Chain A
Amino acid sequence: MNLLRQSFPRRRLALCAAASVVALVMTGCSKDVTKKDVNDAGQTAEPTTLAVDQARTKANHLSSQILDMIGIKDGKVTEGGAGVSLCDDDPDHLYRMRHPWSIYEVAPDKLEAGFQRLREILPKNGWKVVAYGRDTSANKNLELTADSEKDPFSVNASLRITGASGNQQPMLQIRVVSGCFRAPKGTDLGKEY
């Protein structure tokens, strides 16, 4: 279930989009309809309004869920929590959460096992793996990308165990990112972190 699908404003925008096919010049819809606000059904969608703290809690919760799925108990995990990034379309009002973190000081074979465990378990926990394979770096790191099926969040995992840096400091790098949310009225995104 997608949050975006439930929102009333999206239905309004869908109607606007249909209307604008008939009459391209009229309607006041254009300011809301940008190609980046497209949900997985390919329809334009107004970003869901969500308080920054709630989005942060959600991102941190999803990261915790992912850490559990990886199932590595030893080693170290980056301490910092999710942070706010502004969305290019409307940086005064739209933001997304980014939470980059990693597991390190663990043997490479354990990291690889954790990565594969994550790949296997994600689909059983409401995530759809949409990309898997070697990336385009010189180290050809193995990575996967998965989308949450119920929240506007996506995760990328990159196994860093090859090449000079992978030998020196093996790690499993995780990035959790959300779609753009609209900050509630009165939020000063310039003061959020």
Chain B
Amino acid sequence: MAGPDGEPGLPQAYLLGFDTKGLGHAIIANGSPDTADNTAVYVPRTESQLAKAAGDDPVPYIGRPFLGGHKWGVQYYDGVPYSAGYIQTIPSDEAFGAHRMHVNTSGHSGYWDEGSVSLENQGAVVVGKYGDVKEDN
């Protein structure tokens, strides 16, 4: 299942685009967007230059757009506007991360509280499994 040049178990990376402005940006796909059942966009924590650039430039997106279906979210992710017209399913920490899984009795509970529920919920939304999203009590 490894990509031709990849590590075992990890998808091949695809370079979809790059530029050298500011700190430099690259658009990387993990796995082929053309053959994927689902795609998701991730913008790592933005440096100020990138956030500024996003105000003027089109926001990059990767792979096939989510058209129709569930609208689930906010229009900003880490300060970058995502209502770019194509992507309607927007996972966000704000929307999903507020509720912590109830494992307060766990001695290792700290292992689970740093965004793990948020990550998992984002995954559930990306693949359309809305019934598995953990919600606030």
Interface residues of A (CB under 8 A from B): 36, 38-40, 79-81, 87-88, 96, 98, 100, 128, 130-131, 135-139, 141, 145, 147-148, 152-154, 156, 160, 162-166, 175, 177-179, 193
Interface residues on B, range: 20 to 34
B interface secondary structure, majority:
loop
Chain A residue contacts of B107, Cβ below 8 A: 39-40, 128, 130, 147
A-B contact pairs, 8 of them (CB 8 A): A81-B9, A100-B120, A130-B108, A141-B132, A152-B108, A154-B111, A175-B120, A177-B116
A137 touches B132 (CB 8 A): yes
Across the interface, B130 reaches (CB within 8 A) one of A40, A138, A148, namely A138
A131 touches B134 (CB 8 A): no
A80 touches B114 (CB 8 A): no
1/0 per residue B99-132: CB within 8 Å of A? 1011101111111101010001000000011111
A-B contact count (CB 8 A): 92
Chain A residue contacts of B111, Cβ below 8 A: 96, 152-154, 177-179
Say yes or no: is B56 at the interface (Cβ < 8 Å to chain A): no
Distance in Å from the Cβ of B85 to the closest Cβ of chain A?
Answer: 28
| Chain B: CB-nearest residue to A40 | B107
| Chain A: CB-nearest residue to B1 | A79
B131 touches A147 (CB 8 A): no
Say yes or no: is B5 at the interface (Cβ < 8 Å to chain A): no
Across the interface, A136 reaches (CB within 8 A) one of B7, B106, B137, namely B137
| Chain B: CB-nearest residue to A135 | B134
Which 10 residue pairs across A and B have the least CB separation, nearest first? A40-B107, A80-B9, A163-B131, A165-B129, A130-B106, A139-B131, A154-B108, A147-B108, A138-B131, A79-B1
Q: A38, A96, A131, A193: which has the most chain B beta carbons within 10 Å?
A: A131
In the bound complex, how far is the Cα of B110 from the Cα of A92, in angstroms? 19
Q: B110, B111, B137: which has the most chain A beta carbons within 10 Å?
A: B111
Chain A residue contacts of B58, Cβ below 8 A: none
Known: A137-B133, A138-B132. 18 other contacts (CB 8 A): A79-B8, A80-B8, A130-B107, A130-B108, A131-B102, A136-B137, A139-B131, A147-B107, A148-B108, A153-B108, A154-B112, A156-B112, A163-B132, A164-B131, A177-B112, A177-B116, A178-B111, A179-B108
* Given the contacts A136-B134, A138-B130, A193-B7, A145 and B112 also touching, CB distance less than 8 Å: yes
Chain A residue contacts of B94, Cβ below 8 A: none
Q: A128, A137, A152: which has the most chain B beta carbons within 10 Å?
A: A137
Q: B7, B131, B135, B137: which has the most chain A beta carbons within 10 Å?
A: B131
